[in-house]
Chain A
Amino acid sequence: MSIGTVKLKIDGVEVTVPEGTMILKAAKDNGIIIPTLCSLEGLTAYGGCRICLVEISGSPKLFPACITSVSTGMAVTTNSEKLKEYRKMAVQMLLAERTHICSVCVADEHCELQDMANQLGVDHVMFERNWSRDEIDSTHDFLVIDRNRCILCTRCIRVCDQIEGVHTLDLKLRGKDSQVIMDLDEHWANSCSCTSCRKCAKVCPVGAIYIEGEPIGHTKRKDIAEFILTRRNRK
Chain B
Amino acid sequence: MTIHTFKPDLPPPTISIGALGWLRANLFSSWINTLLTLVGLYLLWLIVPPVLEWAIFKADWTGETRADCSREGACWVFIQTRFGQFMYGFYPTELRWRVDAAAWLAIIGAAPLFLRQMPHKLRYGLGYLLVYPLLAYWLLHGGFFGLQTVPTSQWGGLMLTVVIAAVGIAGALPLGILLALGRRSDMPAIRVLCVTFIEFWRGVPLITVLFMSSVMLPLFLPEGMNLDKLLRAMLMVVFFEAAYIAEVVRGGLQAIPKGQYEAAAAMGLGYWRSTLLVILPQALKLVIPGIVNTFIALFKDTSLVIIIGLFDFLNSIKRATADPAWLGMSTEGYVFAALVYWMFCFGMSRYSMRLERKLDTGHKR
Q: Do chains A and B stick together as partners?
A: no
A residues contacting B by CB (< 8 A) are none
